Structure 1
Amino acid sequence: MIVINSFNEYKCLEGQMIGVSAWHTIDQDQIDRFADATLDYQWIHTDKEKAEKEGPFKSTIAHGYLTLSLIPYLWKQIADVRNVKMEINYGIENLKFGQPVLVDSEVRLQATVKSVTDLRGTVKAIVEAKLLIKNETKPAYTGDVIFLYHFSQEVL
């Protein structure tokens, strides 16, 4: 895990792939709980028998938004951004889903710092996020996650 204490430390990471998270298994229980939270009960996610018989993947798959919602959890395994008063998940740009995540697949996040900008005291970091699927060559998605940070004070 990398520790980032300031704008200057973050800025030094531009252009670097800074790490990957641990593997995380997305099981049917997590998919079902996500369906309950979002009220998205599409059968491809929640009906195991129908997905096995009629679905194109012969199993249920994770919601795309479920896989996106893992970004904060997995990001915290890659980078420990300290000395902040506030951190904001500002957005995601250029998001492309590459392939579905089948139930019981293991996924992990790979993060590359694309840019770090000081916007008059607010630090804007754009991090390319790739959700890798174990034993697959194509990622589940790739997108540019935008974080905003208000550092407590500059640490040199």
Structure 2
Amino acid sequence: MNTPSHRTVYRLSKQQLERIDEFVESRIARNIRIAELSSAIKMSPSHFSHRFKRTTGISPHAFVTKRKILKAEQLLRQTSCTLEEIAGKVGYSNLGHFRRQFRKSLGYAPGNLREVGAGNVLRGSAPKAVVKVNTYRPAVKD
């Protein structure tokens, strides 16, 4: 009998994860709610949250926050926009909250990061341990 295992049944598919990723990217400047994410793949918010966490190991909220912070990091490196402008572009209306989330996620303050010439230079103290990732993709747990 070839029935899917418990682990397979209660996980999101690769296509569902890709749809969520595209959804977040297209609405990165907005406050994205779990209900919106779940409706993007036609699932109830409760089922979606449980399956997302089971599949990726992180909550949907943590995923959205990480994507916003990584987009902000990219904008800091590649543009001359102010911190206020970048915070707005990734959906933060409160600059202090944006700075706290950035530091919490990446280990250094957003004001310390700016692109200088061909290389990236951190002003001030170096980050504790920063893993550089071009785009954040949730890892699928087995």
TM-score of Structure 1 vs Structure 2, range by shorter chain: under 0.3
RCO greater where, 1 or 2, for CA within 8 Å and sep 6 or more?
1
The alignment's TM-score, normalised by the length of structure 1, stands at 0.24
The structure that is strand-richer by fraction is 1
